Amino acid sequence: MAYVVAKKSALLIPSGPGEDGKHLYVIVTAPCEAERCLLVTLTSIRDGRFFDPACRVDVGEHEFITKPSYVEYHMSRTLRCEQIVKCVDGWYFTPKPPASEELVERLCAGLTESDFTSKIVLDYFAANRHR
């Protein structure tokens, strides 16, 4: 059975250091007419290192979050739904339990508050936030 792309879905995606070089991404919009969706990524807060304060995520707000974390809005991106399905079916992306509605709302609020969200992401989000 093929993976179904949906708002609130959470995925581990290869993206550098961390749990086997993967970070948790959450899909914050439903697929648009062009069959794309917007994903944001969470990463651990590290002592002595700067982090974007727009959206902190505490331990337990998602079962994968075991350390205080934040959203790295500069890493937000849109992906084609077809690409997501292929990567999940090919075991490159690992599905995790979906994020709660409350967490997704906070992730979305931080998108517009962050000084690090790109204009292209903000424009996409403005056009697709109510999906």
Question: Is 74 strand, coil or helix?
Answer: helix
pLDDT at 130: 81
Burial 75-109 (b: 16+ CB within 10 A, else e): bbbbbebeebeebbeeeebbebebbeeebbebbbe
pLDDT at 15: 82
| 22-27 and 69-71 strand pairing | unpaired
Structure tokens at 66: 């075991």
Apex 10 CA angle, 7 and 13, nearest 5: 125
pLDDT in tens, 45-84: 999 999 999 999 999 999 999 999 999 999 999 999 999 9
Residues 52, 57, 59, 62, CA torsion sign: negative
Q: To the nearest whole number, what is the mean pLDDT of the chain?
A: 93
